[in-house]
Structure 1
Amino acid sequence: MPINTDPKLIAGNSNKPLANAIARRMSMHRGQAVKPVDTRVERFNDGEIFVEVFENVRGEDMFIIQSTSNPANDNLMELLIMTDALRRSSAARITAVIPYFGYARQDRRTKARTPISAKLVANLIAEAGVERVLTMDLHAAQIQGFFDLPVDNLYASPIFALDILHHFKDMEDVMVVSPDVGGVARARELAQRIKAPLSIVDKRREKAGEVAEMTVIGDVKGKRCIIVDDICDTAGTLCKAAEVLMAAGATEVHSYITHGVLSGPAVERITNSVMKSLVITDSIEPTKEVKACKNIRIVPTAPMFAQAILNISGGMSVSSLFDNETLEPIYESLYPSN
């Protein structure tokens, strides 16, 4: 079946503001109005999810925008059922745009008789009929290999680099910090982009969610430290890392986290933390508490996702969005050049 060249968006309930922002950004690029396809996504009294698409999608290049964030299971089922509805409506191609890929932290067996849930979710998505996945900052790079279909993994570090260079005018005393050994590659990439040194906070866990000991590797005395990570859940580890850095002589601590899960006491901890600021993306729709928190700032991902969708639909490179020369014009209104 031939594919109509113009991409069409369809949005689940997980992050409607992001879906609408992506549509507005695509409207700017194309010079004509782009709106998500008119769809009804609702629940029966027993919690079953029902989807109805009110527009013709036969032969269309469809992009489902749906993060599998809290409530993760409901949002995942929405994605699967929307995919099935589009497949049965003869859509030519279905791409799942998953800004935050839930279950990504279960990417390996940590103990005997435990699942690899990220692989299971990948199988479900592929079996439902998705032909391509577009996501951002997967918790583990190997998750791309869990899919037997193309996966485009965007990175928040180019956006963070633009934001840091815009807000931190003097970069002489800035140091990038990885909150654990596993995140060194992510922190190193950002450090190279802003030409800053790198430090590591080595942490030892006694059990999930609790950190027994932290040690700073590197000299952070007199430095403005920027902690970089992909996920902030309850913020316990992040706030403790900030305290350890301040105790080691750092003058300020800021954090740049891609996915602000921010569950439980996270907002309260961040509010009372020694951290001067926490910057997150809108890959997960922020709650009212997150929006009201004075030391949390949100940077948009819609410009990058909109351009990635247009590139995929047009058969162009997505990796070009990792280059500053390509990304800066997309974010020019937010970070104007001096």
Structure 2
Amino acid sequence: MGSIVAENRKSLMLFSGQGFPELAEEIGQVLGVAPTPSDSYEFANGEIFVRFKDSVRGSDAFVVQSVTEGVNRWVMETLIMVDALKRGSAKRITVVLPFYPYSRQDKKHRGREPISARLVADLLKTAGANRILTVDLHTAQIQGFFDGPVDHLFAMDILAEHIIKKFEGRPMTVVAPDSGRVRVAERWTDRLGGCPLAFIHKTRDPMKPNQVVANRVVGEVEGRVCLIVDDMIDTGGTITK
């Protein structure tokens, strides 16, 4: 006999980062798959160690990581988890990132600046990720930074249903907090039945992060429920002003 014929079987396994493990647990309840137990801790100097307690050989691995405050720690933990899965002979590794880190740094505004969103994609690919699943990217072109499939999901339908139920019958205006969010705000106006659109003209000093000056509002807002649509809140300064 010149060959061995084997049935190609692949099992789905779920792996949770420590950014917000409750999310992976909820996903596991829906899928009927418990997150794989692991040893995860930091050394005294801040180095991260991860080891999965079960065999991952031949598995279809899904790494769920919520990149919350302390972004760099969770990015590094994700890379280490992916590397551990690759070296454990996982069949395919999908990284689930509800928030894609460094997504606001998707282009160069001036000379000698990084494109950090591309760097994150390169790091994930090098670590061993085969696929990325993310939600509401800061800009859609970030999908092209990753050399592989990217599933870009949208939360608009779920959020819009809530808004419609809560404010049904009241006049509403969708407000874009800056010119960069106008396209997103336009999709919201279509989803909410063609309500008016307004936007805020603002200026920002590139040398002073998290500081913004709102100059004027363009559009119909007086006496209406204003829905401000933005994708990333860091300090809340933009939304507040």
The equivalences for 1:1-338 within 5 A come to: 2=8, 4=10, 6-27=11-32, 34-171=33-170, 173-195=171-193, 196-207=195-206, 208-240=209-241
Structure with bigger gyration radius: 2
Residues 27-53 of structure 1: per-residue CA shift (max 9 Å, x gap): 3xxxxxx21011111111111111111
Query: Where does the alignment leave 5 or more consecutive residues of structure 2 unmatched?
Result: 1-6
- Specify the code of the residue in structure 2 equivalent to 1:209: N
Instruction: Sort the Cα spacing of 1:142 and 1:50 in 2 relative to 1 into closer, same or farther, 3 A.
Output: same
Residues 159-212 of structure 1: per-residue CA shift (max 9 Å, x gap): 1111101211214x0111111110111111122111122111111123432223
Is the 1:176–1:227 contact (alpha carbons within 8 Å) kept by the matching residues of 2? yes
Structure 1 match to 2:4: none
Q: Displacement, 1:3?
A: 5.1
Query: Where does the alignment leave 5 or more consecutive residues of structure 1 unmatched?
Result: 28-33, 241-338
- Specify the code of the residue in structure 2 equivalent to 1:43: E
Is the 2:14–2:35 contact (alpha carbons within 8 Å) kept by the matching residues of 1? yes
- Specify the code of the residue in structure 1 equivalent to 2:151: D
The DSSP-based 3-state class of the residue aligned with 1:104 is: coil
TM, length-normalised to structure 2: 0.92
- Specify the code of the residue in structure 1 equivalent to 2:69: N
Residues 70-122 of structure 1: per-residue CA shift (max 9 Å, x gap): 21111111111111111111110000001111111111111111111111111
Separation in 2, partners of 1:68, 1:219: 36
Alignment coverage as a number of residue pairs: 232
Is the 2:197–2:220 contact (alpha carbons within 8 Å) kept by the matching residues of 1? no
Separation in 2, partners of 1:227, 1:194: 13
Is the 1:2–1:92 contact (alpha carbons within 8 Å) kept by the matching residues of 2? no
Residues 114-163 of structure 1: per-residue CA shift (max 9 Å, x gap): 11111111100001000000001111111111111111111121111111
Residues 212-244 of structure 1: per-residue CA shift (max 9 Å, x gap): 34211111122110001101111111011xxxx
Separation in 1, partners of 2:201, 2:156: 21
The DSSP-based 3-state class of the residue aligned with 1:127 is: helix
The DSSP-based 3-state class of the residue aligned with 1:85 is: helix
Separation in 2, partners of 1:148, 1:213: 38
> Greater helix share, 1 or 2?
1
Is the 1:104–1:118 contact (alpha carbons within 8 Å) kept by the matching residues of 2? yes
Separation in 1, partners of 2:107, 2:22: 33
- Cα RMSD over matched residues? 1.4
Residues 233-281 of structure 1: per-residue CA shift (max 9 Å, x gap): 11111011xxxxxxxxxxxxxxxxxxxxxxxxxxxxxxxxxxxxxxxxx
Instruction: Sort the Cα spacing of 1:26 and 1:90 in 2 relative to 1 into closer, same or farther, 3 A.
Output: same
Separation in 2, partners of 1:235, 1:222: 24
Residues 43-73 of structure 1: per-residue CA shift (max 9 Å, x gap): 1111111111111211111000013332111
TM, length-normalised to structure 1: 0.66
Separation in 2, partners of 1:103, 1:46: 24
Instruction: Sort the Cα spacing of 1:198 and 1:14 in 2 relative to 1 into closer, same or farther, 3 A.
Output: same
The DSSP-based 3-state class of the residue aligned with 1:68 is: coil
The DSSP-based 3-state class of the residue aligned with 2:83 is: helix
Separation in 1, partners of 2:9, 2:82: 17
Is the 1:3–1:61 contact (alpha carbons within 8 Å) kept by the matching residues of 2? no
Separation in 2, partners of 1:7, 1:185: 37
